[in-house]
């Protein structure tokens, strides 16, 4: 077991890229050692490890497919063997899959539900068990989406999965309060994740402007902003906050019409 020198440890799933990488870097910047998790993006996880270490924090890299319970158990065993403890569990790993309701396949349904809901559920459970065993009054943060409240076309699986994850947050918060463990969620909207599903670079600027223009704050969220929200929610200043969700979508769900105008 690695000596963490009394520092707290944050476990961030899906931290090889995008929002997860931003969260990991901000947790490290705020004094946490970080367990960097990935399923397929090994190169990204190594880069995140470098970001964490650049902040003077320790980074422990683990791999696991969170749709597989055996792999969840293995990655938690590896993480605890390396880091010794988990003070903050951030369930960020997820998949975004869209299809018309009439064309949703059982395979797509299972992939989204098993990753975004089931995987996060059992990662939270394993983390909570380790906190209870060690007497740690920790925090579990579930990354959901503003899809939990808003309705977009072709999101009949993704939206309900995120809504269920937020409802799970509430139930888990009620049960774990007796152990001094808080459970909260963060619901980002459009975020600059650097993913490969956006339009080609030549068209990206127009794509970004079109969508940003419909958001009251007129821009996308940055991964580091989600990270700073997690730092706050994990800290003492949020010590009386549990079972609730912080929506970070720049006000995207506020307008009744897409033009965001009174005219």
Return the HEC string of 164-205: HHHHHHHHHHHHHHHHCCEEEEEEECCECCCCCCCCCHHHHH
HSE value, Cβ hemisphere, 13 Å, CA-based, for 250: 19
- Point out the residues that are catalytic: 158
Helices 223-234 and 18-29 pack at an angle, to 10 degrees, of: 50
C-alpha–C-alpha distance, residues 180 and 182, integer Å = 7
pLDDT along the chain (263 residues), means of 10: 73 96 98 97 96 98 98 98 98 95 97 97 98 98 95 93 98 98 96 64 59 84 96 98 96 75 44
Q: How many CB atoms lie within 10 A of CB 134?
A: 13
Domain residues of the chain, as ranges?
Answer: 9-248
- The top-level CATH class assigned to 9-248 is alpha beta
Q: What pLDDT is attached to residue 196?
A: 45
**pTM assigned to the model:** 0.90
Angle at 193 between CA 192 and CA 197, to 5 degrees: 105
């Amino acid at each position: 077991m690695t000596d963490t020198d009394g520092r707290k440890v944050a476990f961030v799933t899906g931290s090889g890229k995008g929002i997860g990488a931003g969260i990991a870097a901000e947790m490290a910047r705020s004094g946490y050692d970080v367990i960097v998790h990935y399923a397929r993006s090994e190169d990204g996880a190594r880069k995140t490890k470098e970001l964490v270490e650049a902040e003077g924090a320790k980074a422990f890299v683990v791999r696991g497919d969170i749709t597989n319970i055996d792999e969840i158990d293995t990655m938690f065993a590896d993480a605890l063997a390396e880091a010794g403890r988990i003070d903050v569990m951030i369930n960020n790993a997820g998949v975004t899959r869209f299809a018309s309701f009439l064309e949703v396949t059982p395979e797509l349904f299972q992939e989204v539900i098993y990753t975004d809901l089931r995987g996060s559920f059992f990662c939270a459970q394993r983390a909570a068990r380790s906190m209870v065993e060690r007497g740690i009054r920790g925090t579990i943060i579930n990354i959901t989406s503003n899809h939990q409240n808003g309705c977009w076309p072709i999101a009949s699986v993704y939206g309900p999965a995120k809504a269920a994850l937020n409802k799970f947050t509430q139930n888990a918060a009620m049960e774990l309060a007796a152990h001094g463990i808080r459970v909260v969620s963060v619901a980002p909207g459009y975020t600059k994740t650097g993913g490969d599903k956006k339009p080609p670079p030549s068209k990206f600027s127009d794509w970004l402007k079109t969508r940003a223009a419909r958001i009251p704050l007129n821009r996308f969220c940055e991964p580091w902003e989600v990270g700073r929200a997690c730092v706050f929610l994990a800290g003492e200043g949020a010590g009386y906050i549990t079972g609730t969700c912080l929506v970070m979508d720049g006000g995207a769900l506020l307008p009744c019409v897409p033009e965001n105008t009174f005219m």
